[in-house]
A and B are shown apart, each in its own frame.
Chain A
Amino acid sequence: MAIAEQQAQGTSDRSWHGIVLQTLKRNEISLIPYVPDRVLTPLIKNLHANPFFTTFATAREEEAVGIVSGAWMGGRRGAVLMQTSGFATLANVLASLAVPYQIPLIMFVSERGTLGEFNYGQSLVCRTMRPVLDSLALEHHTITRLDELEFIADRSIKQAVTTQAPVALILNPLLTGGKVFDQ
């Protein structure tokens, strides 16, 4: 079994999703709207099970961005969970809400389209993600290693809040195991 798979299936706090959950909690991020993704399933399940978090699905990713933006202005922190293809729907809301209004939008993106992708459309839409982030000069990190996850996530959340700027944390298949053809 690959290390990434062991990490993906683990239920301890040292699994990738356990670290993400604890990092969210430590940073008082309690509102978690999401559009689901297979890889994110253990994280979503554990967030739902933890009463600290208000976790719910939205119909579209930009709806979730609107919700956490409103919550931030009302004094409550949130983060949005999505897949690569969902991020591709966000250019307008990033450019007309999160960036110009200086809202610390925290995004976790499960990365599909690379390292064994089987769906051509997913591999194409993945290629649009970093150019969109770069075109708006948005902070983003691609996380590939379990031992770097907590540092990158914790520091990036704190930077987003203190600089009032969005951040995208891209969860690479090297970290999560990704989605493969037989799943």
Chain B
Amino acid sequence: MNTGNTKVMNRFDITSRLIAKLQHEEAVIGGIGNTNFDLWAAGHRPQNFYMLGSMGLAFPIALGVALAQPDRRVFALEGDGSLLMQLGALSTIAALKPKNLIMIVMDNGIYQITGAQPTPAAGVADIVAIATGSGLANSAWAADEEDFERLVEEAMSASEPSLIAVRIDDKPGVGTTRRDPVQIRERFMHGLGVREPL
């Protein structure tokens, strides 16, 4: 893995730094498990969507939002184990080139939530190399927190989809998302301006 120069960061800290940068009602899709737990813990926003299943679909769901609302930036937060389930989605996104889609991969090399078992990719595969090879040229490892913030800022005005990979520690999520799928979906649609509250 070509990640030797990247600092091991923390998912909740990185997620909080991302949320602090959002000023234009950007959509954020949180992948299954710790990824959306930390999105929830960073402070609920109406434009947040939390996955309670369908492992691996954070990027496809975000792609759908990005295609529906091309003028809104759409972030997707996904774990490395989840991404491994749906690597083909990277090529789909590369082919469609939605410039408003920004993918963030939280890579700790383990299935933390199920008992910290290593993923098959741990120690052998490079997420950014996979993304680049899938056609996503604008993919990079964040070297540290400041570099992550810089990459997010660049992605905000990029002319093609962006992928930012972050090495993270083995800590669990800080909070637990309230598991009410209909409420999550309805609030998200309100947040995107698709529906008005009753």
* B residues less than 8 Å from A97 (CB atoms): 51, 53-54, 57
B192 at the interface (CB under 8 A from A): yes
> Which chain B residue shows the least CB distance to A97?
B54
Interface centre among A57, A76, A95, A102 (most CB of B within 10 A): A76
Task: Check A73–B194 contact: CB distance below 8 A.
Answer: yes
Task: Check B92–A63 contact: CB distance below 8 A.
Answer: yes
* A residues less than 8 Å from B68 (CB atoms): 31, 70-76
Task: Check A66–B65 contact: CB distance below 8 A.
Answer: no
A residues touching B (Cβ–Cβ < 8 Å)? 31, 33, 54, 56-60, 62-76, 78, 92-93, 95-97, 100-103
* A residues less than 8 Å from B184 (CB atoms): 101
Identify which of A59, A70, A92 contacts B62 (C-beta below 8 A): A70
Task: Report the interface size class on chain B.
Answer: 35 or more
Task: Check B185–A62 contact: CB distance below 8 A.
Answer: no
> Which chain B residue shows the least CB distance to A71?
B64
Q: Return B100 CB to nearest CB of chain A, in Å.
A: 11
A-B contact pairs, 14 of them (CB 8 A): A59-B89, A59-B92, A65-B57, A66-B89, A70-B64, A70-B65, A73-B64, A74-B66, A74-B69, A74-B192, A74-B194, A93-B53, A97-B53, A100-B181
Q: Whole-angstrom distance between the alpha carbons of A76 and B181 in the complex?
A: 20
Known A96-B54, A100-B182; contact A70-B63, beta-carbon cutoff 8 A: yes
Q: Whole-angstrom distance between the alpha carbons of A73 and B195 in the complex?
A: 9
B41 at the interface (CB under 8 A from A): no
* A residues less than 8 Å from B91 (CB atoms): 59
